[in-house]
Amino acid sequence: MIAVALSGGVDSSFAAYLLRERGENLLGLFALLSQSDPEQEIARVRRICDFLKISLEIVDLRRPFKEKVIAYFKEQYRQGLTPNPCIICNREIKFGLLLETAHKLGASKLATGHYVRLQFNKANLCYELFKGRDQDKDQSYFLALLTQKQLSQTIFPLGEWKKEEVIKEAVKLGLFNLTSPESQEVCFIRGDYRNLFLQEDFPPGDIVTVSGKVVGKHQGLFAYTIGQRRGLGVRLGKPYYVVALDRERNRLIIGPKKFLKRKHLRVGGVHFICPAYRSQSFDAFVRIRYRHKEAPARIELLSASEARVVFKNPQEAVTPGQFAIFYQKELVLGGGEILPAPVEELIKNSEKPI
């Protein structure tokens, strides 16, 4: 039996349809995460399962989701970092606890609606992860920290499909009207993410230019991210951007756009999908956020868990807390979390005071 993680969206629903057409014995799984009022979502998923003629199990993961994902999200912002909860959720919840539940219910594998491809390489005895055929919907960035054990127990039916093809077929089947076109990217946030922190004490501090001039006050570092231009509350005659979050001194560092460019970064918690990929030094293309076009770079391992990434050309808005993911063409090698750089390093080429 194969369990299918159903979100109520068209992608996971069509993935289930494809497996059913292959003659697989299916079980639908819906993970309760953080919805305060999940009845509407559950009703939608039940209609999908009725349409597909498969049974459904509701898996209550709200407590571990809060402990592993929402707590991580909040703590990253407290540390002056910009988190990526989807990567953590996939590793810990969907391909962690939900996969474990699938096994307990008798399933051999878990299928999802991710646009990625998976192949077993007999030469290195490794499950390899590749970008999805649909480059616009490719979700390999979010799955780059999965382990061999997790990948060996997973199926991605949409890897060779394009989103437009999925929607076209779902409309023909009558399935599209039962689903939502897209799952919400950060599922536990309704509205502004800063609402999560309204009851917490984040002290205000100085807004400082890269040249050291105090030009305003911020209301808490959690409300800002690298590269942000709007909402700074300062007027300096030309565009200024968030260059760094100085948590140690509770300062928001801003500067002209040129200060967003960085030639290198450090990555912590380095993970390789296959042990064979690990090398002391190698060339790869590196993506520093989901919608970033990966750029050529040299990766140098500094220790078992830390690496230095040196780009061929400087990249804009390198954001600590996000993840740098390594690619070789379509193949996903792995990656790790972007670490903060010393503020002095970021602004050592400061322009003259404004």
Q: Which residues contact 255 (CB under 8 A, 6 or more apart)?
A: 209, 210, 240, 241, 243, 347, 350, 351
- Name which of 35, 77, 86 is nearest 188 in CA terms: 35
Q: What does the DSSP assignment read for 64-96? A: HHIIIIIHHHHHHHHTT----HHHHHIIIIIII
Told to judge if 89 belongs to the known catalytic residues of this protein, a careful annotator would answer yes
Contact between 321 and 338 under an 8 Å Cβ cutoff? The reply is yes
Catalytic-labelled residue, pool 49, 86, 89, 126? 89
- Name which of 46, 35, 19 is nearest 113 in CA terms: 19
Which 3 state secondary structure label does DSSP give 113?
A: coil
Phi/psi zone of residue 251: left (φ > 0), alpha (ψ -120 to 50 degrees), beta?
A: beta
Q: Which residues contact 102 (CB under 8 A, 6 or more apart)?
A: 3, 27, 29, 109, 110
Q: What does the DSSP assignment read for 262-279? A: EEEEEEEEEEESSGGG--
Q: Enumerate the β-bridge partners of residue 206.
A: 217
- Residue type at position 166: V
Told to judge if 274 belongs to the known catalytic residues of this protein, a careful annotator would answer no
Q: Two tokens at 251?
A: 């300062």
Give catalytic residues, as residue numbers.
89, 187
